[in-house]
Amino acid sequence: MLAHYAPAPARVDGPGDTRSALDALRLLVLDDSYDEQAAEVGARTASANAREFGRVFKIDVPAIQPGIQPTLDTFRKANADLITSLQADALDEVAELVDDAWTRGTRVEDLRKQIQDRFDVTTSRADLIARDQILKLNGQITRTRQISAGITEYIWTTSNDERVREDHDALDGTRQRWDAPPVTDTRTRETNHPGEDYQCRCVAAPVLSFLEDGEE
């Protein structure tokens, strides 16, 4: 009768085959699809912005107006590069984990947990970057539309919740000019328009000076 035995924990294989697998994965991940995805996100943001702008002015506004397309092109290129760079960094970090695991004789189960944790961090970071970039894009499109419509001033408007930072809350309801961004960080004296600061959800409510002057 053969004796029962517990198999030894699986160990990480040598780095050679693993490196080849990672290089193959890199070719699959780092393709041109991010460029298309960034373009689609930009187009959706421009359309949503146009609907809101049209709602305020009670007119139909095309998603792409003069000055909008260059902004979308810049957004597409910058964010495709950001995503690609983020994925490349994550794969490099995984390669380092694999090499270290092979050197130390780490169990496969432990390495799997390390890799999962690394990609969880990368995913969270990607979500933050995406949200920040879309807020910035929306702010840039709003600025372009208002200036193109002859609007020179706006009312800084916050989301009015607990997540609004103190310096932005102090700006809430104030009248600002597009040619003079206000200070949004009293410590660094950094200036921004709504949406330009990191994760800023504030918006610029247009000041319609021709209505204030009593013109038709």
CB distance 91 to 118 below 8 Å: no
* Residue among 136, 138, 154 nearest 146 (CA): 154
Percent of the chain scoring above 70 in pLDDT: 80
pLDDT digits (tens, 9 = 90+) for 99-115: 777 777 777 777 778 77
Query: Which one has a higher pLDDT value, 181 or 65?
Result: 181
Q: Say what the pTM is.
A: 0.67
pLDDT digits (tens, 9 = 90+) for 151-167: 999 999 999 999 999 99
Measure the CA angle with vertex 99, ends 32 and 125; round to 5°: 45
Reading the block at residue 115, the tokens are 């890799």
Residue 59: which pLDDT band, with cuts at 50, 70 and 90? confident
Residue 184 pLDDT: 96
Partnered with residue 1 across adjacent β-strands are none
Those residues with Cβ within 8 angstroms of residue 120's Cβ, 6 or more apart along the chain or in another chain:
none
Residue 42: which pLDDT band, with cuts at 50, 70 and 90? confident
